[in-house]
Structure 1
């Protein structure tokens, strides 16, 4: 489903913040706009596409599947985020699948227009470099965690990451709605049953509690200390 082009909508994309109105107008006309239903694939791994996508509204998940069919989740994207710059930069196929978690509106910019934007807007180019550097750090930490830590500590690490993502207040964090056990399993490369055991153990220890549809981290500092003891650094 196509939708009306909107330069105003693009102003909510963090990567594009601060551009001139004329630039926004040109980008809005150059982009392809679409509305995608929840639970639908937006991009497929190895697909020969090199557009950059701006998430105007909704939520996306960057994921892939192992040879045995196990889902591996990399990250979730929210309104104002962008994706696809790696394929746009190197011209190679997509490296992951992207699915919609909610009904989403996206604007896609073709590779040539994106590269032109980087050349003409150094501020945007710098943000892309910062974004890619942050992604490399995140993935490096994840590889280390998956290679050196057991399931228990990988679950701790993911809960701590989610807690900081939603915001910590008075040593607590509220994950609302709570991630499903299957979602957590896909993030830490394990199965749902093992996640359930670890969450139950944390609940018995007073670190976690259910509150309706939410999961509350009752003691973020304690969770961080448990993880630091294994990692050997805070």
Structure 2
């Protein structure tokens, strides 16, 4: 069940990376054009092939961008954190959604209709340029994923995904990275196209080798990021 609608706030939009550097007047206008919602955890926002071109800005919370095969197998593309946006592909090309999106925790979302989003890009060249760079980065990430799924075994695909998570979390001066919260084994499996049991075995093997360490129920520490990178590079032939 959705909580009461949050107040429109240009301050909340300052957390959105796409809007970094915009002045108060610009943010005030965007905030006034947005629809605002506070959404409970595990709430679907839209599904693959559904109509609608709203672009969502995640002011707080976390969502998962995923889809399902004909047999019901989940394939996860990524988890989006506060400060990110999603839904822009349908706004740009007018086509149905290409994935499902569901909240992972209580989230505050602002959304712009497709016409309002396109008009904003036209009047804000800084945001338009940033959008092009974001889309370029998305193509590069998807290309890398396709190459991994086509050429690497499950073990190396998991190593590569853990390495991405480590760099996203931030590598510390002692060459460690703290992934918090760490994805569930089933979620990792859906990202690298395997099953939960294989992920569990490989994580156990990395833990025995001393490259991973569990902290509590939700935290995974990569104890040697460079060693993990070397494992991936060795198989890729980098």
| TM-score bin, normalised by smaller chain | over 0.9
Look up the match of 2:64: 61
Distance 1:34 1:151 in 2: 39
**TM-score normalized by structure 1?**
0.96
Matches within 5 A, 1:2-81: 2-81=5-84
Distance 1:151 1:167 in 2: 24
Asked if 1:211 corresponds to 2:210, the answer is no
Instruction: Flag as ranges the 4+ runs of structure 1 deviating above 4 A.
Output: none
Q: Secondary structure at the match of 2:105?
A: coil
Look up the match of 1:105: 108
Matches within 5 A, 1:31-180: 31-169=34-172, 170-180=174-184
Asked if 1:187 corresponds to 2:191, the answer is yes
Uncovered stretches (5+) of structure 1, i.e. residues with no partner:
none
Report the Cα offset of residue 36 of structure 1.
0.7
Q: Please tell me the root mean square deviation across aligned C-alpha atoms, in Å.
A: 1.1
**TM-score normalized by structure 2?**
0.95
Look up the match of 2:202: 198
Q: Secondary structure at the match of 1:58?
A: strand
Q: Secondary structure at the match of 2:66?
A: strand
Report the Cα offset of residue 45 of structure 1.
0.7
Distance 2:208 2:137 in 1: 35
Report the Cα offset of residue 132 of structure 1.
0.4
Distance 1:120 1:59 in 2: 29
Q: Secondary structure at the match of 1:101?
A: strand
Deviations 1:146-195 (A, max 9, x none): 01011111110111010111011111111123321111111111000000
Q: How many residues align?
A: 233
Report the Cα offset of residue 20 of structure 1.
2.5
Q: Secondary structure at the match of 1:74?
A: strand
Report the Cα offset of residue 9 of structure 1.
1.1
Deviations 1:81-106 (A, max 9, x none): 11111111101000000010110010
Uncovered stretches (5+) of structure 2, i.e. residues with no partner:
none
Q: Secondary structure at the match of 2:120?
A: helix
